[in-house]
Amino acid sequence: MTPPDPRSSGLEAGVSLEPDPLLEALDASRSGPAVVAVGGGHGLAQALAAAGRYAGSIHAVVTVADDGGSSGRLAPELGILPPGDIRQCLLALTPDDSPWKRLFDYRFTESDVAGHSLGNLMIAALAAIEGSFEEGLRQAERMLRPIGSVVPAAGQRLLLEAVVDGSPIAGQVAIAQSRGQITELAVQPAEVEASPRAVEALLEADQILLGPGSLYTSIMAVLVVPGIAEAINESGAKVVYVCNLMTQDGETLGMDGADHLDALIGLTGMRPPNAIVANTTAIATEPPLAAVLADEDTIATYGVDVIGADLVDPTAIWPRHDAARLGGVLARLA
């Protein structure tokens, strides 16, 4: 499986997008640390909602290896980057309700477009109208007026590859659904380079957030893009890993906080984070799922601090982080 040539859709690996004066003015009106959140999916959206409570500027560096759902249908057919995680980040960074936000969040349930988010279709349409995905994303940001910027980790769609229990598995969805120990993780094509905007944001950050979210297929799917881990290692930012509340079936079963940390460092070459933020409140789980516990003594051997707090959203039907509580902890660490 080889991702399409990015030139077919106006994408160039490593294209640098010039800053938008309007969005720069919005950022300039905020005070606080420069925060970069890394990952994808709902977890990254929660991190962005938390960061929005204290950050002066926010960049979301998003995986471009998603091959499931609406993104998995649109990206290969249209030759664009997977729009789903990018759309979720845009919505998380758009605090005020508006007709545009409601449109980007709408999902069809019937007919030929069942399962598609209108926001994904709009991003795809804007990319076609503007001639490139980057320009389409710029226009989406101008429509939504987010309090930060969304930066794809690379300028082309990538294929995530892993070795699980000794067997090679290709594709983000297939890896997420596999059960076993993941010992290798990489993206194809191997010669891809990280987006210059992503590298610049990481180098200039005061705080870099990893997680919450799928450890291998969201967070590490960004970190294994050549140039990303290197930029984090070179950055003077404080790196914070936000532990998931519970393990993920098919990806992190049986793993505690130290196991997550060991995989994060061992498979990406990234330096150990300065701190791990872990939930201390009991949550209800059903086997084989379990709460992710962070043992301070074990994690201390990595030179990493454990920050424990009640992070659970009491209003959520399924366990998830509370943006206000998580934001309070991250603000103190920043």
Q: What share of the chain is helix, strand, coil (3-state, %, to 5)?
A: 40, 20, 40
Q: Give the C-alpha separation, 186 to 216, whole Å.
A: 10
Give the end of a domain, one of 127, 152, 177.
Answer: 152
Number of domains in the chain: 2
207 and 327 co-located in one domain? yes
Do 197 and 56 fall into the same domain? yes
CA distance 148 to 95: 11
End-of-domain residue from the set 93, 128, 152: 152
- Residue 128's domain comprises 66-152
**pTM for this model (two decimals):** 0.90
Q: Which amino acid is at 268?
A: T
Residue range 9-44, pLDDT digits in tens: 333 333 334 555 544 544 555 689 999 999 999 999
Mean pLDDT over residues 192-205, rounded?
Answer: 98
- Going by pLDDT thresholds of 50, 70 and 90, the confidence category of residue 137 is very high
pLDDT of residue 26: 45
Same domain, 45 and 99: no
Burial class (CB in 10 A: 0-12, 13-18, 19+), 322: buried
Q: How far is CA 28 from CA 22, 56, 117, in A?
A: 10, 8, 31
Q: Could you report the per-residue pLDDT of 239-255, keeping only the tens digit for each?
A: 999 999 999 998 999 99
Q: Is the pLDDT of residue 70 over 60?
A: yes
Whether residue 246 lies inside any domain: the answer is yes
CA 22/CA 35 separation, integer angstroms: 20
211 and 244 Cβ atoms separated by less than 8 Å: yes
The string over 240-256, giving b where at least 16 C-beta atoms fall within 10 Å of a residue's C-beta and e elsewhere, is bbbbbbbbbebbbeebb
